[in-house]
Structure 1
Amino acid sequence: MADNDQSQVLTVNIVTPDGVVYSHHAHLLVVKAIDGDLGIMANHEAIIAPLKISEVRVHRVDENHMDSIAVNGGFLEVSNNQASITADSAERAKDIDLRRAQRAKARAEEKIKTAQSHNDSDEMLRAQVALRRAVNRISVSGHQSQ
């Protein structure tokens, strides 16, 4: 890639209500949309897609570097070599507190047991989402930047 050839570069931004969590240039962005996995490169057709609670992988332009970010759902919008993810929360792998995520997983599992014993479907749904978020954070924490 030529140094000044911006037509082959995708700018990736991840934003939460707390502000910008991530912003870098990339060759490839990989996300899990509700309808399946998406690989986004420069010059991709404009799209908007809802995302699952999952890992986002950004293959950066600098020295074959890859970043992993845990996102809790949200939306991806791609247009004009700009990929923007808007999510309720997002954490880079290097910023995840593994012990805290493991405690959140244990709490969610306990809430699931309680909801099952009380036949509480609303609490069950909330606990299942909390469990998916915790498991995602634990998984992503093992994918430190390469």
Structure 2
Amino acid sequence: MMEQVAENKLIQDECDLKCKQYLISLFDEPTAEYFLSPSYCLKEIPPWFSQLKDDMQDDMSAVALWDALRQRTTQILQESNTEPSMVVTNEIARRVTDWKTLIKKDHLMRLAGVKYMFHCAQHNQAFSALLLQHNPLFDYEINNGLK
């Protein structure tokens, strides 16, 4: 039990580290710390976030904030990514095709399994009917003198 808790803690720590590294790669370290910090102590608010809040003075709802953050993230991603190369585009198309093929195969395998279960059920039903026809059920009332 203690081994599992320790292992879960290691996995959680590794996940936290990867998330932190990813946020640092997208933003800078103070911004990543701002989003990751669970404490309520005052931290330096990133200037872009302060500007974002100032621009949204009257429309400061969760939906509006979420949309503004999504637009900022999209802008950062567009600036960091150039036009995708044909190799990347072809790789994405191949993966989508592979995924669709796997889904189709999985569906066909499930159908085959359902057909097999149906035929097994029919076979078992026929076998039960044959057994009951040649070996009628024991009548408890006749043997106990109730009839």
TM-score above 0.5, yes or no: no
TM-score by length of 2: 0.23
Which has more strand, going by share of residues?
1
The structure whose Rg is larger is 2
Q: Which one has more relative contact order, counting CA pairs under 8 Å at least 6 apart?
A: 1
TM-score by length of 1: 0.23
Which has more helix, going by share of residues?
2
